Amino acid sequence: MTDQAVDTGGVQLSGHAATRGQFLGRTRELKELRADIERTGLDTLTGKKAPRARVLLIAGRPGSGRTALAEELVRQVARRYRDGVLRTRLADPDGTPVPVERAARELLTALDLPTPAGADEDELAATLREALADRRALLLLDDAAGADQVDALLPDTPECLLVAVSAGPLTGIADVRPCTLGGLDTKSALDLLTRYTGSVRITVDPRAAEGLVEICQGQPAALILAGGWLAARPQAAVSDLAKQLHAEGDEGSPLSRVFGLVHAGLSAPVARTLRLLSLAPAGLVDPHTASALAGCSMGAAQTALDDLTALGLLRAVDCPLPQYEVPGALHPLLRAAAEAEERPAELQLARARMFERTVRLLQSCRAVTEPENPQAREKLQGTPRALRFPTREAAAQWLTVRRPALLAAARAAVEDGELDTLARRLMSQLVRAMVAHFGTQEAAPDLYGIHQLVLDVAERRDLPRERAAALLNLADVDARTGRTAEALVRYRTALDAGRAAQDPYATGRAMESVGGAHLELGDYERAADWFGRALAQRLARDERADAARLYGRIATAHTYAGRYGEAQRSWRAAAAGHRKNGDVASYARALSELARVQEYAGRPEESLRTCEEALEWARRAEDTRLQAAVRLRLADTLDHLGDPTAARLHRGEAGRLLEDHDRLEQAPNAYEIRSALAED
């Protein structure tokens, strides 16, 4: 979440000579910031308690050490905040502001609180403030692009502290305590260089070292790159580097001048890899990303990443898998270098390779969850070994670690505009992988955003079929998360798009979903009407299985409305359809539901006979859970008929069936047994 490899005053330095975790300098700034936490604000001069959290601002250009200072401050005072530290970044590596909605989701997730899919910025920000109302927490908002972002996330309690990192002032937020950073003091700057060069080269020529600090204007980012350059050249003197930088002139910032020198000293393949990393989604790189961007082997990509990390050009991310971050201070320099030295067609090809590699990894990630699926196994066998996951757990770990980069890749693919076909494939595979590993409910917030991206592509390219599909998916997520009114609006819009595309599947699906939304909202008459419209389409297309299912949905709407006669007729039609289709289990279920309605209608003897017939068909279907459900229905009916002994027997048998079913579900399946034997 930070750009500390270069944007640092001493924390988490990269490189083999770095001493991690030791902060350099900024003693005065830290003292003032700690004092500002307790200082009386303008709102409290009258003795009233401050209405909102104290805001400390650390302002400075990228590369000034602003993030490192914020992290050191947080480390020193974190123990005062019993509910912990929450972090999020408010700008992407390219400087694009992060929507408040996304930032609020990240903070709520860190609090282990739900983030409803489809909730807007205001709702999520309000949920966050409510969650923090009775907490004492410290918020670190890095790379804030403006005051509006910070204000939306500011807790309404003085018990919390908010530390914001930004390039400039946060005009509009009351009583902000700013700390503006310049360069490091000379001693701290020399200590920083020493971590890379060792002490000898600094002590033998202290004037040259001080001159190098002056050239870098004490900027930590520039000093780290200078230190990395010297560390890679043990025979070079500090004065050699100072002379070369003097020869470059005064044009540009200190960081850009040192970067230019470091970039020029790289081998051609490594320099090209570095430039192409400016295309990495969210600035997060793993060996697959680097390999695809550069069009090189995984081994060559890993070596390049290690070399660039040693030079301070990348930061190794602390996570279970190899992953690196492009420092925010370097991102504009990398992008400018890529645009200057790579042809536009080459950059587009690199993007396409990266997205294609991501699609294949996602396919492999999903396929490993279906070991018994012949098609999935065949697809895995045809996948290069480097793109396979050894286990389902390994795939889930990769998906979790790479989630921010994968979501950023989806956004980048859509924003590109030239790779829409590839973008749709990427988003389709991302949805499938997330559902396979996390489940629809847990992945719903991310799925919502992905479906919205698909909708953006469909509307931009005027693709009504894709637009209908995206709207249906968005509406489904709305419906599953209790936003039924919003779902209904989207289902109707999807119906219009399906009709425009002349897509009978989308049209029928939308009509049925409109009916389902009305059913959820308690408008049973409209629900039955829309289910009837969907049924008419299915019958016209001779889609018998769907028609039988829709008879059941119509029956359900009539049952809820208390129209038991119409409900019985519809369940009989559903049962007849399922029996004609040879769907024994569905036939048994329809009979069981018919028995339920018969009982509601005051016809228990008829309900008993229908239940007994349903039980016989459930046995034929060899569906244990269905048999148990029908027996419980029989027990209820027998109770109403005054036969508690028989009812008790059926309930006992239902319990035994469920126990047997659960025991079988927990036992290893045949494929797992064969796999274990093969491994042994």
The Cα 228–Cα 17 span in angstroms is 9
96: left (phi over 0), alpha (psi -120 to 50) or beta: beta
| Whole-number pLDDT of residue 5 | 33
| Whole-number pLDDT of residue 80 | 93
User: Which CA distances in Å does 420 have to 407, 426, 459, 623?
Assistant: 16, 10, 12, 45
The Cα 343–Cα 417 span in angstroms is 18
- How far does the chain reach from its first CA to its final CA, in angstroms? 43
Tokens representing residue 584 in the block: 């024994």
> Among candidates 358, 354, 168, which has minimal Cα distance to 278?
354
The Cα 516–Cα 510 span in angstroms is 10
Output the average pLDDT for the chain.
Answer: 87
Residue 422 banded pLDDT, cuts 50, 70, 90: confident
- CB burial class (10 A; 0-12, 13-18, 19+) of residue 431? buried
Three-state secondary structure along 191-248?
HHHHHHHCCHHHHCCHHHHHHHHHHCCCCHHHHHHHHHHHHCCCCCCHHHHHHHHHHC
Query: In a 3-state reduction of DSSP, which class is residue 88?
Result: strand
Task: Give the model confidence (pLDDT) of 268-291 as tens digits.
Answer: 999 999 999 999 999 999 999 999
CA angle 564, 570, 573 (to 5 degrees): 145
Residue 7 corresponds to which amino acid? D
Work out the percent of the chain whose per-residue pLDDT is above 90. 61
Task: Give the model confidence (pLDDT) of 338-347 as tens digits.
Answer: 999 999 999 9
Query: In a 3-state reduction of DSSP, which class is residue 286?
Result: coil
The Cα 267–Cα 162 span in angstroms is 44
Work out whether the CA dihedral 130, 135, 141, 146 comes out positive or negative.
positive
**DSSP 8-class letter at 385:** G
If you count them, how many residues does the chain have?
680
**DSSP 8-class letter at 57:** E
Kindly state the average pLDDT of the residues 227-238.
91
> Among candidates 83, 28, 32, which has minimal Cα distance to 57?
32
The Cα 152–Cα 104 span in angstroms is 9
Task: Give the model confidence (pLDDT) of 30-64 as tens digits.
Answer: 999 999 988 866 454 444 555 789 999 999 998 99
Task: Give the model confidence (pLDDT) of 59-108 as tens digits.
Answer: 999 899 999 999 999 999 999 999 999 999 999 887 889 999 999 999 99
